[in-house]
Amino acid sequence: MSGKSAFEVETLDASLDSLHITARDFSKILFEMSPDVKRDGRFKVHTVDVSLKDYSFLDLGHAQIDSLKLRIADSSGILLSGWTMRKNQAYNYNRRNE
């Protein structure tokens, strides 16, 4: 995605295999569960690969992500859940100490 764009994805599937996201300029991207699904709004993603440039923003705050690859510019932002942060912090810590 590029330009001054906004993109929102509402999924009915509570479990996704992978997401590959590339955004630049002033893009804003949001992923969330559809309000039609009777859940708490959280969904699971096995692998996420993100590249954000310029002033892009990505909201994955409701996702529980097992594996995360991030390439984010200084002026870009990403919102992640605490579950995702804990899961990926433990993984990265263990890999550094092998």
| CB proximity list for 41: less than 8 A, separation 6 or greater | 32, 33, 62
Q: How far apart are alpha carbons 48 and 97 in whole angstroms?
A: 23
Q: How far apart are alpha carbons 47 and 12 in whole angstroms?
A: 18
Q: What is the mean pLDDT of each run of 10 residues along the chain (98 residues)?
A: 92 95 95 87 95 96 95 93 86 50
Per-residue confidence (pLDDT) for residue 33, from 0 to 100: 93
Question: In what order do the strands lie in the sheet containing 15-23?
Answer: 15-23, 43-52, 63-72
Are 31 and 63 in contact by the 8 Å Cβ rule? The answer is yes
Are 27 and 8 in contact by the 8 Å Cβ rule? The answer is no
Per-residue confidence (pLDDT) for residue 88, from 0 to 100: 85
* Boundaries of every domain in the chain: 6-96
Per-residue confidence (pLDDT) for residue 90, from 0 to 100: 56
pTM: 0.85
Per-residue confidence (pLDDT) for residue 96, from 0 to 100: 52
Burial of 54 (0-12, 13-18, 19+ CB in 10 A): middle
